């Protein structure tokens, strides 16, 4: 065999092998910043955002959580930064986009017989649903037998006391379509040390005009506003856009409060923004939160099966919660929901 041919052949093989190895071990491009879009049609619920009060007094300082919907948009046709739309309760439903309204319906009064479906003398058929799911008559009498009333009639379960049938819409005359309910920020294209920063927010405000309710009283004019700062979405292999941290200045009329925020997405398997749990502080394995600032010392995190993210047939758990196992979720006994027990920003 010709020596030059052998050298050329082996040289070509070496070059191909070197190219293949280089392809395997060459640095991979960074993943783009992403979030989980809150989309009702796809069953993707909003993020649950845990709030820790920094300062403020009044009603606006009483929040311990809010629901937060996120939607990412590309600013340019290809490449470049993104914009992030942040829609939050308690003013807006971040899942469906509806503005929460003032509500009153004086025509649905259980004390007035004609407000029930049926004759005027059937006021005893109206029922009130209790917190535990039980039913009571307007005078407080429990309704144990829902089959018939004392006079042989039937209870009116379709027209319960307090059910709002007519709502008064809240309107911002300068924003009739409610576009400014979204706080729009500029989001980096690629994460820096696992965090995607979002800043330069605009919007997130509604200046509601005064509205007259059905009973003649007035809903006063009021401003609702959210101002975010230090907003960062966690984008790592363990947390692919499913958690964020921020500082929030929340305004409701003349009331202003500042919060620290930790938002996390529990997964579409749950179907809701949170996973409830019933742990108490007396349960075993409890410990004061000693992590970052948003784990307030007043919140005790408890290990319970209700918060276990994965199924375990040996333990009799057919299904898990679907939460990210890297969060090591535990029950927050103050909120009554499963929350991360580790700082999501530290998960790489």
pLDDT (tens digit per residue) in 208-251 = 999 887 667 788 899 999 999 999 999 999 999 999 999 999 99
Mean pLDDT of 309-320: 71
**CA 255 and chain centroid, separation:** 23
Please give the pLDDT value at position 97. 84
pLDDT (tens digit per residue) in 82-133 = 999 999 998 998 988 888 887 555 555 555 544 554 444 444 566 666 666 6
b/e burial code for range 166-182 (CB count within 10 A of at least 16 → b): eebebbbeeeeebebbb
* Highest averaged pLDDT of the listed ranges 91-95, 132-136, 180-184, 280-284: 180-184
Tokens 């005893």, located at residue = 124
Please give the pLDDT value at position 26. 60
Query: Which residues face 239 on adjacent strands?
Result: none
**CA 257 and chain centroid, separation:** 20
Q: Where are the beta strands (DSSP E) in 115-221?
A: 128-129, 135-136, 167-168, 183-187, 195-203, 205-208, 211-212, 218-219
Euclidean distance between CA atoms 170 and 98, whole angstroms: 11
Q: How many CB atoms lie within 10 A of CB 312?
A: 12
Eight-class DSSP state of 33: P
Task: Give the residue with greater pLDDT, 40 vs 119.
Answer: 40
- Is the separation of the CB atoms in 280 and 84 below 8 Å? no
**In 147-245, alpha helices (H):** none
* Highest averaged pLDDT of the listed ranges 134-148, 154-168, 173-187, 265-279: 173-187
Q: Where are the beta strands (DSSP E) in 39-173?
A: 47-56, 65-74, 82-88, 102-103, 128-129, 135-136, 167-168
And the tokens for 125?
């058929």
Q: What is the mean pLDDT of the chain?
A: 78
Euclidean distance between CA atoms 193 and 200, whole angstroms: 21
- Is the separation of the CB atoms in 111 and 105 below 8 Å? no
Q: Cα dihedral sign for 149, 153, 156, 158? A: positive
Mean pLDDT of 269-274: 84
DSSP-derived 3-state class of residue 87: strand
Euclidean distance between CA atoms 260 and 136, whole angstroms: 41
Please give the pLDDT value at position 123. 45
pLDDT over 90 for what percent of the chain? 41
Element (H, E) at 53: strand 47-56
311 contacts: CB under 8 Å, gap ≥ 6: 317, 318, 319, 320
Out of 27-36, 114-123, 162-171, which region has the weakest mean confidence (pLDDT)?
114-123
DSSP-derived 3-state class of residue 346: helix
């Amino acid at each position: 065999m010709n020596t030059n041919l052998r050298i050329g052949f082996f040289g070509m093989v070496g070059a191909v092998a070197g190219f293949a190895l280089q392809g395997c071990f060459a640095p991979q491009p960074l993943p783009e910043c992403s979030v989980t879009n809150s989309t009702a049609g796809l069953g993707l619920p909003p993020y649950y955002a845990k709030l820790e009060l920094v300062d403020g007094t009044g009603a606006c300082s009483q929040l311990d959580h809010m629901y937060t919907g996120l939607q990412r948009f590309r600013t340019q046709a290809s490449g470049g930064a993104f914009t992030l739309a942040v829609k939050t309760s308690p003013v807006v439903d971040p899942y469906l986009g509806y503005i929460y309204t003032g509500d009153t319906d004086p025509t649905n009064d259980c004390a007035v017989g004609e407000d029930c479906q049926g004759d005027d003398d059937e006021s005893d058929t109206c029922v009130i649903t209790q917190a535990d799911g039980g039913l009571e008559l307007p005078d407080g009498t429990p309704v144990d037998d829902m089959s018939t009333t004392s006079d042989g009639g039937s209870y009116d379960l379709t027209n319960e006391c307090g059910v709002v049938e007519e709502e008064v819409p809240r309107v911002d005359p300068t924003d009739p379509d409610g576009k400014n309910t979204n706080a729009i920020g500029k989001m980096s294209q690629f994460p820096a040390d696992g965090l995607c920063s979002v800043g330069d927010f605009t919007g997130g405000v509604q200046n509601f005009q005064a509205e007259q309710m059905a009973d003649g009283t007035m809903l006063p004019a009021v401003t609702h506003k959210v101002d975010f700062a230090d907003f960062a979405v966690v984008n790592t292999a363990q947390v692919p856009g499913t958690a964020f941290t921020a500082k929030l200045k929340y305004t409701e009329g003349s009331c202003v409060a500042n919060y620290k925020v930790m938002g996390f997405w529990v997964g579409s398997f749950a179907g809701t923004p949170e996973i409830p749990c019933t742990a108490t502080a007396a349960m075993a394995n409890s410990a004061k939160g000693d992590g970052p600032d948003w784990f307030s010392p007043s919140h005790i995190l408890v290990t319970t099966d209700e918060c276990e993210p994965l199924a375990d047939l040996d333990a009799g758990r057919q299904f898990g919660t679907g939460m990210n196992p890297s969060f090591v979720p535990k029950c927050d006994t103050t909120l009554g929901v499963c929350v991360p027990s580790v700082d999501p920003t530290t998960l790489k």
